[in-house]
């Protein structure tokens, strides 16, 4: 059917609004600060046959725009095998090899029925604070198989025809060190997808099935057409780029992430065949995760294309299973955040050669998964985990953002006041890090200094980061940014982890501290072309302490 422009715009806006409301419902109801404050979650609507993205909320993490397609497809495959799909079913699982990312990301998938017909899926993901494994929080830098990172469940029904399955819930809650948090987050996630179902039913009743489903198809078609036209503007050719991870946490040797980006008319191919092979430590990712971060990179580079499955129709992604970007169990994948940042970075780097005006210098490129666990005065266990900001890369139009989140997400950095209120910890410093940017015509953004003191009798720290040896790169004469730096401030002095950016079982006594100095972003363009006024402003603000 033909959809007029006004109806298309209005229904598209309503679809986005519903996805946004699901996000906000979860944020406001979740127990875990990583979801409630950090917004480590997403919701959207997905095609019933392919799992392709129809609409995703604007507040959810962009990395899930690709990975959730695979998560929904895993449920589709399970339903096809068993032929047991009913209205009111809700599937739950955290298998990172089927649905992408890592074990902490618990996924819910619910079929949407209207007048007895299954039309699409509603799905969401939320990061649980703990799902078992060898270390609290799951970020085990020395894991050599996923069993050491947490427990794994493939798609099962947490609700069958609307009836809640207590036994499945008990399995998830029993395997968490923080069952109260897990209980709250599970029910918050269930409520969020229920909100999506109710609002979507209201939309169908107002506009009718044919109009709403027609808008969904038209949005996909237009996205594919727009993406093809944007790719066609780039000169044909193959453009290559590579970067490195510090190590895998087990063997202190660099890991190469390499891409060959080929433009041919209206089509693009991303080939990662030259990437290092699977590693022993947790710096591996599954195929679905690798594809997802390619999608994120392309969305940064092609900002005009809406985030649905159509805009990736003209893109071919080749990721052999001989690389660390396409592994199977039991290879560990808990360090996926560091790997995908490097994948996004090399796509930026390759595009800088193909279409310089679209690209960015490297962002700080590490999530710095620093968790501190211990016991409160009440005897209750705690796990403090949050995101740590850094600088984004300069680009053809402007400087990079100071102290922002990585390109994989729109996640918020948890306020220190909330952390200090919830845990026996105190921030003795939280500030911008001078001279951490890559200088250039457009400088990179600044990283940050964080210093955390233990107030209780003792605690243990766990760190899984990167960029301790290979700095965020600059482009077109722009300089590299500063390296990542972790210091363990013990009573006998400062200590740097053996693997520089990865460590487990950091024993901390009362009054001892962990200091994290995050990288800035790479610079863009020759340093000598930076304007005198911009340079003076950098010095006046304390960003730059020497010329």
pLDDT of residue 497: 96
Query: Which has the closest alpha carbon to 59: 87, 27, 33?
Result: 27
Residue 534, C-beta contacts closer than 8 angstroms, at least 6 positions apart: 399, 443
Residue 410: pLDDT band with limits 50, 70, 90 = confident
> What's the DSSP call for residue 433?
-
495 membership: H or E segment, kind and range: strand 493-495
Task: Report pLDDT for 305.
Answer: 82
Kindly state the average pLDDT of the residues 484-496: 97
Domain boundaries, the chain: 5-224, 360-547
CA distance 380 to 90: 32
pLDDT in tens, 43-58: 999 999 999 999 998 8
pLDDT in tens, 348-387: 999 999 999 999 999 999 999 999 999 999 999 999 998 8
Indicate if the pLDDT at residue 100 is higher than 90: no
Q: How far apart are CA 432 and CA 446, in angstroms?
A: 6
CA-CA distance, 341 to 60, in Å (whole number)?
17
- Over residues 305-328, mean pLDDT: 94
Cα 138 from Cα 171, distance rounded (Å): 17
Instruction: Look at phi and psi of residue 342 and say left if phi exceeds 0, alpha if psi is from -120 to 50, else beta.
Output: alpha
Percent of the chain with pLDDT over 90: 93
Average pLDDT over residues 474-489: 98
Instruction: Give pLDDT tens digits for 214-264.
Output: 999 999 999 999 999 999 999 999 999 999 999 999 999 999 999 999 999
The whole-number pLDDT of residue 387 equals 84
Q: Which of 416, 2, 40 is nearest to 214 (CA)?
A: 2
Looking only at the bridges linking them, the beta strands covering 105-114 and 117-127 are antiparallel
**Looking at residue 424, what is its pLDDT?**
98
Q: What is the mean pLDDT of residues 473-495?
A: 98
pTM of the shown model: 0.96
State the pLDDT confidence band at 408, using cuts at 50, 70 and 90. Answer: confident
Report how far residue 485's alpha carbon sits from residue 40's, in angstroms, rounded to the nearest whole number.
24
Integer Cα distance of 101 and 108 in angstroms: 14
Residue 137, classed as helix, strand or coil, is: coil
Q: Which of 417, 390, 414 is nearest to 404 (CA)?
A: 390
Specify whether the CB–CB gap between 122 and 192 falls below 8 A: no
Rounded mean pLDDT of 283-311? 92
Residue 65: pLDDT band with limits 50, 70, 90 = confident
Mean pLDDT of the chain: 96
Q: For residue 547, is pLDDT > 60?
A: no
Residue 413 pLDDT exceeds 70? yes
pLDDT on residue 111: 98
Q: In what order do the strands lie in the sheet with 255-264?
A: 237-245, 255-264, 267-271, 315-318
Task: Give mean pLDDT, residues 71-93.
Answer: 96
Residue 304's pLDDT band, with cuts at 50, 70 and 90, is confident
pLDDT band at 199 (very low <50, low <70, confident <90, very high): very high
The span from the first CA to the last CA of the chain, in angstroms, equals 63
């Amino acid at each position: 059917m033909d959809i007029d422009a006004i109806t298309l715009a209005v229904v598209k806006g309503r679809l986005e609004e519903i996805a946004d409301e699901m996000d906000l419902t979860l944020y406001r109801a979740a127990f875990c600060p990583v979801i409630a404050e950090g917004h480590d979650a997403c919701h959207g609507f997905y095609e019933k046959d392919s799992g392709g993205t129809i609409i995703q909320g604007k507040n959810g993490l962009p990395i899930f725009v690709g990975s959730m397609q695979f998560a929904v497809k895993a449920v589709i495959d399970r339903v096809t095998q068993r032929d047991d799909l009913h209205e009111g079913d809700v599937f739950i699982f955290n298998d990172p090899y089927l649905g992408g990312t890592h074990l902490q990301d618990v996924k819910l998938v619910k079929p949407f029925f209207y007048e007895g017909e299954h039309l699409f899926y509603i799905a969401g993901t939320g990061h649980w604070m703990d799902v078992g494994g060898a270390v609290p929080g799951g970020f085990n830098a020395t894991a050599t198989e996923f069993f050491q990172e947490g427990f794994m469940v493939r798609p099962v029904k947490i609700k069958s025809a609307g009836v809640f399955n207590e036994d499945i819930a008990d399995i998830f809650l029993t395997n968490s060190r923080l069952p109260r948090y897990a209980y709250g987050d599970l029910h918050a996630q269930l409520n969020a997808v229920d909100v999506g179902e109710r609002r979507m039913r209201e939309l169908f009743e107002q506009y009718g099935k044919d109009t709403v489903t027609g808008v969904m198809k038209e949005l996909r078609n237009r996205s594919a057409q727009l993406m093809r036209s944007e790719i066609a503007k780039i000169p044909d050719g193959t453009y290559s780029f590579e970067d490195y991870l510090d190590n895998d946490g087990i063997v202190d040797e660099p890991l190469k992430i390499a891409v060959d980006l080929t433009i041919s008319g209206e089509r693009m191919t991303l080939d990662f065949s030259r990437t290092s092979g699977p590693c022993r430590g947790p710096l591996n990712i599954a195929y679905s995760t690798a594809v997802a971060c390619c999608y994120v990179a392309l969305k940064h580079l092609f900002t005009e294309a809406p985030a649905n499955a159509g805009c990736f129709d003209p893109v071919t992604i080749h990721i052999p299973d001989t690389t660390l970007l396409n592994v199977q169990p039991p290879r560990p994948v808990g360090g996926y955040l560091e790997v995908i940042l490097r994948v996004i970075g090399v796509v930026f780097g390759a595009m800088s050669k193909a279409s310089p005006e679209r690209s960015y210098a490297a962002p700080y490129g590490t999530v710095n998964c620093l968790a501190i666990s211990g016991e409160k005065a009440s005897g209750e266990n705690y796990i403090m985990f949050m995101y740590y900001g850094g600088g984004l890369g300069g680009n053809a139009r402007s400087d990079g953002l100071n102290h922002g989140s990585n390109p994989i997400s729109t996640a918020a950095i948890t306020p220190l006041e909330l952390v200090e209120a919830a845990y026996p910890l105190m921030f003795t410093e939280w500030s911008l890090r001078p001279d951490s940017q890559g200088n250039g015509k457009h400088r990179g953004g600044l990283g940050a200094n964080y210093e955390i003191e233990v107030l209780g009798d003792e605690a243990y720290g766990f760190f899984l980061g990167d960029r301790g040896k290979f700095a965020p790169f600059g482009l077109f004469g722009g300089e590299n940014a500063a390296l990542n730096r972790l210091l363990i401030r013990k009573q006998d002095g400062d200590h740097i982890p053996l693997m520089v950016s990865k460590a487990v079982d950091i024993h901390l006594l009362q009054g001892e501290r962990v200091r994290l100095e995050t990288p800035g972003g790479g610079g863009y363009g020759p340093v000598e072309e930076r304007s005198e006024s911009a340079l003076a402003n950098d010095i006046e603000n304390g960003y730059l302490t020497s010329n």
